[in-house]
A and B are shown apart, each in its own frame.
Chain A
Amino acid sequence: MKVYLDNNATTRIAPEVLDAMLPFLTERFGNPSSFHSFGSDLKEDIEAARQKVAALLGADAEEIVFTSGGTESDNTAIIGATSINPLKPGFVTSRTEHPAILETAEYIKSRGHPVKITEVNSDGTINMNSLESCVSEQTGLVSIMMANNETGVIVPVAEAARKAHASGALFHTDAVQAVSKIPVDVRSMDIDMLSVSAHKFHGPKGVGALFVRKGIEIPPFMLGGHQEKGMRAGTSNVAGIVGLGVAAELAVKHLLEENGRTGLLLERLEKGILEKCPGAVVAGGDAERLPNTATVLFRGVESEAVMTLLDIKGVCVSSGSACSTGEQTSSYVLSAMGIDDVDANTAIRFSLSRYTIGGEIDYILEVLPPIIEKLRDISPYANR
Chain B
Amino acid sequence: MWNYSEKLMDHFMNPRNSGQLMNPDGHSEIGSPQCGDAMTLDIQVDDEDKIAEIRFMTFGCAGAIAAASALTEIAKGRTLDEALGISNDQIVEFLGGMPEEKYHCSVMGHEALSTAIDDFRHRRDNTAEHLECILGEMPENLAAAVGEGIINIEHVHPVRVYVSLSEGDNSAVAAVLESELRKRAGKKVEVGIIR
Contacts and interface: CB of A to CB of B under 8 A. Distances in A.
Contacts of A311: 1
A342 interface: yes
Contacts of B13: 309
B36 A342 contact: yes
B58 interface: yes
A380 B38 contact: yes
Interface string A306-340: 00110100000000000000101010000000000
B95 to A, nearest CB: 14
A311 B34 CA distance: 25
A301 B64 CA distance: 12
Given A305-B65, A378-B18, A328 B35 contact: yes
Given A308-B12, A308-B61, A381-B59, A302 B37 contact: yes
A301 B29 CA distance: 17
A345 B37 CA distance: 9
Nearest to A304: B61
A377 interface: yes
Interface string B39-51: 1100000000000
Contact of A308 (B1, B36, B57): B1
A301 B37 CA distance: 10
A378 B65 contact: yes
A291 interface: no
- What is the size category of the interface that chain B forms with chain A? 20 to 34
A341 interface: yes
B61 A302 contact: yes
A300 B37 CA distance: 11
B158 interface: no
Contacts of B38: 342, 380-381
B19 interface: yes
A278 B61 CA distance: 19
Nearest to A309: B13
Contacts of A302: 36-37, 59-61, 64
B175 to A, nearest CB: 40
Given A311-B1, A377-B18, A378-B15, A305 B61 contact: yes
Interface residues of A, number: 19
A379 interface: yes
B64 to A, nearest CB: 8
Given A308-B12, A326-B101, A378 B61 contact: no
Contact of B57 (A304, A309, A378): A378
Chain B CB count within 10 A is highest, among A304, A326, A380, for A380
Contacts of B56: 378
B167 to A, nearest CB: 51
A235 B11 CA distance: 53
A377 B2 CA distance: 23
B62 interface: yes
Q: 10 nearest interchain CB pairs?
A: A304-B61, A328-B35, A378-B18, A380-B57, A308-B62, A380-B40, A345-B36, A381-B59, A379-B59, A302-B60
Given A305-B60, A305-B65, A330-B36, 9 more contacts: A302-B60, A302-B61, A302-B64, A305-B64, A308-B12, A378-B15, A378-B65, A380-B38, A381-B38
Interface of B: 1-2, 4, 12-13, 15, 18-19, 29, 34-40, 56-62, 64-65, 101
24 contacts: A300-B59, A301-B59, A302-B61, A304-B61, A305-B60, A308-B1, A308-B2, A308-B62, A309-B13, A326-B101, A328-B34, A328-B36, A330-B36, A342-B38, A345-B36, A377-B18, A378-B15, A378-B56, A378-B58, A379-B57, A380-B29, A380-B40, A380-B57, A380-B59
